[in-house]
Structure 1
Amino acid sequence: MKILLTGFDPFGGESINPSWEVVRRIPKKIKDTEIKGIQIPTVFQKSFEVLKKEIESFNPDVVICVGQAGGRQGITPERIAINIDDARIADNEENQPIDFPIQKDGESAYFSTLPIKAMVDKMIASGFPASVSNTAGTFVCNHIMYQVLYYASKNHPSLKVGFIHVPFLPEQVKEKNQYPSMELEEMVHALTLCVETVIEYQDKEDLKTIGGAIH
């Protein structure tokens, strides 16, 4: 089994992106599964162009994309990606699509094919703040999640795909301490648990536990 992890480069004026800092520290082998981490650009179309080449060369069984969700308190596996780009800020190449469909022939939305509730359960049991997220936003994080799920549906139906958001690092919130943060070592441990869960659940259905939200 092979798992491909992705993290983004810094964006929005930040000098660091916790998603890449976490991904590049995940062990290269977990439970006899080969793990590869790559950095992708925080650029709408280019992000998937880079990732698609890596998928076709590495031929993974699972793709887990990781991104920064500044303001969130814990680790949040995403449930769904929607077919829209609506950028509140420009990406790293000054693209700012508004109400633009990601794939004209794609579904309105695609659901993660990872065991997101089992991941959350395992993280919480290990003492980490975690929850299922029901929105990946409308920026590059949602874009890449949608693109990979669309690609899998058209080309590799057996490919498992999902997205996980991580919070700010402490050094990112020194001057904006109203935002929660999480230590890098904790994020690495939590994401490693997510990868372990994906491996454990490769032939099993996800847990049927409460992961919904009122708003």
Structure 2
Amino acid sequence: MSTILLTSFAPWKADQRSNSSDDLLVSLQQRQELPDNALLMRQVPVNFHLAPCHIIAKLVELRPAVLICCGMAEKRHCLSLELNGRYEDKTLKTALNLPELIAGTRLTEISHCAGTYVCNHLYFKVLEFIQRTRCSTQAIFIHVPPLNPLNQEFVAADFTLILQRLSLPATAPLPLVA
């Protein structure tokens, strides 16, 4: 069975008790809603240099079929699947078919801007590494909004549905963007 590697960030502000990306993964793990082939890499440091180094090293070690990097988006209200990562004048896109991944979700959108902070930098570096090394891993960055009693179940259900779609058997290729 091919592996899915899920990553989350640690809090980055002194007043943050947690990071919603990590909270979501922990919640799904506790509820046993993660696929059997899922591996977690939690609490990655929010650091421009360390985050890509840690995650790309794990990608090389494990060679997962899918890498899902998760980060917190403090001002968003939906789960956001990021289409691309940017650096200077270069834009790299995920090869995954995002419209198919979010079909039927209730609180998920496709985003064309992964921000200007560590999340975008990490995503760009991961996509660049995959492209440069011709790695077969498919990668996506998902921003998680702050979780609260009103959105937590919807976000968890949408994330679980997306995970199920990404957990297709190796004989069923993942859909690609045209």
Normalised-by-shorter TM-score class: 0.7 to 0.9
Q: Could you tell me the TM-score, scaled by structure 1's length?
A: 0.71
Tell me, yes or no, if structure 1 residue 187 matches structure 2 residue 165: no
Deviation at 1:204, TM superposition (A): 4.6
CA distance in 2, matches of 1:67, 1:157: 23
Q: Which amino acid aligns with 1:6?
A: T
Q: 1:17 to 1:147 in 2, by over 3 A?
A: same
CA distance in 2, matches of 1:139, 1:193: 27
Tell me, yes or no, if structure 1 residue 51 matches structure 2 residue 29: no
Residue aligning to 1:34: 37
SS at match of 2:68: strand
Deviation at 1:68, TM superposition (A): 0.8
Deviation at 1:51, TM superposition (A): 0.9
CA distance in 1, matches of 2:49, 2:55: 10
Structure with a larger share of its residues in strand: 2
2:125 to 147, 157, 170: 147
Identical positions, percent: 23
Q: Which amino acid aligns with 1:17?
A: N
Q: Alpha carbon RMSD of aligned pairs, Å?
A: 2.4
Tell me, yes or no, if structure 1 residue 137 matches structure 2 residue 115: yes
Tell me, yes or no, if structure 1 residue 160 matches structure 2 residue 138: yes
Which 5+ residue runs of structure 1 have no aligned equivalent?
A: 85-106, 172-180, 209-215
Q: Could you tell me the TM-score, scaled by structure 2's length?
A: 0.84
Which 5+ residue runs of structure 2 have no aligned equivalent?
A: none
Contact 1:83–1:108, Cα closer than 8 Å, also in 2: yes
Tell me, yes or no, if structure 1 residue 196 matches structure 2 residue 172: no
Deviation track 1:178-204 (CA, whole Å, cap 9, x = no partner) reads xxx722x44332212111122349515
Q: Which amino acid aligns with 1:133?
A: S
Deviation at 1:206, TM superposition (A): 4.8
CA distance in 2, matches of 1:29, 1:59: 19
Contact 1:28–1:36, Cα closer than 8 Å, also in 2: no
Deviation track 1:12-53 (CA, whole Å, cap 9, x = no partner) reads 3321101011123345862xx510111211111100111122
Tell me, yes or no, if structure 1 residue 115 matches structure 2 residue 97: yes
Query: How many residues of Structure 1 are paired with residues of Structure 2 in the alignment?
Result: 170
Moved more, 113-122 or 1-10: 113-122
